[in-house]
Structure 1
Amino acid sequence: MQTATRNESTTSPARPGDRRRKMLAILAGGLVLGVGAAVTLAVWNDSEFATGTFGSGQFELEGSLDGTAFSSSETAPGKPLAFAVDADLLSPGAVVYAPFAVQLSSDSTYEASVDLASTTSGTIGAELTYSLYDVGATFGATCSAATPPSGTALVTDQPVASPTPAAVFELTAVTDPVNLCFVVTASSTLPAAQTGTVTWEFLGESTDPLP
């Protein structure tokens, strides 16, 4: 009779040195994986620029005594209005007339809203009032005792010594004049031997850019 032999595999107990080597190997592998995961990304740079060029617009009022030759008079006394003969020898109730024109200069870039103010010197100012008319397309055609203005009244019977400016017109195109007529009236109680001057100032304020 044969006796069956049982094969049993035997495993040698792990030695402390083997465990240490395995642990070092695992740690080393982890370190290698860690280094491999630290990916260095490429860096791109990009810029986008925008530049604005700036400047200021302008507008300038010009006046004319004849409706043809325009120029700028930015300080008083300005242009001498051509009132009727004997404007310096007024009598009570007398009325005198003077044409004038205002426009935007050719290099203006803005429309303008225009007010009118007056100042006086001497003693006669308290005895005078004025009216201002837009007389239309023809300079001076209706601005005299023989042909009084028949256009639009922009100012009516304003004391020349009044400190309040009056809104008079808009300028909406370059070199397109507004033809005007000043009408000055002496009071009915004007004393003798009064003298003085009246200075009118057209005050322009820019509004919309010109088309």
Structure 2
Amino acid sequence: MNQQQEQLATLHEIRNIMDRSSRFISLSGLSGISAGLTALAGAAVVMWYLSEQNIAYGADNNLTLTQDALLFLLTVALAVLVVALGLASFFTIRRAHKNNQRIWDNQSKRLVLNMAIPLFAGGVFCAVLLYHSILYLIAPTMLVFYGLALVNGSKYTFSDIRYLGLCELALGLVSGFFVGYGLLSWTIGFGVLHIVYGALLYFKYER
């Protein structure tokens, strides 16, 4: 009986080793937390600006922006993206070095590629919406395509990311019906959910 248990334990260990070797496991929970905090800061700046400019993000599907307002919002979005990616890269690289793991290997390449395809498609579709002045659907669209990217990339990293992706996807689809809450949904999706996911990932794998 003991021999059988030892064999089962050995098989389980082999399976864990094979699973780790096929997944990018250097992703840090602090990356998610920092990205969420950055998104919250960006959302606060946007809300402040809309209030200062008396621009109502309402549910009447008639959201219009001046060229200056649109340029400001795009600048904030780009700044949030750059800062979030920078912090995520920093914490992930730091964890990889701490664990003596390569940061750029076959697993990380597959992860980036499988996430890049939905993200690129989503970016182009958001540009189409912007071109046709359908601004109220941009926030839900970002959530939907980001969720799809996370689900698609979860095969090559922690499986927990799949659940984050499903939450982002569901939130984006729901906010597509309630467009007046698009900015709030964006804040919850890219801010709150990232912080919660990052904290769970950190305490589960890094403590």
> Which of the five TM-score ranges fits, normalised by the shorter chain?
under 0.3
TM-score, normalising length: structure 2: 0.27
Answer 1 or 2: which has greater strand percent.
1
| TM-score with structure 1 setting the length | 0.26
Larger RCO (alpha carbons 8 Å, 6+ apart)? 2
Larger relative helix fraction:
2
Q: Which has the greater radius of gyration? A: 1
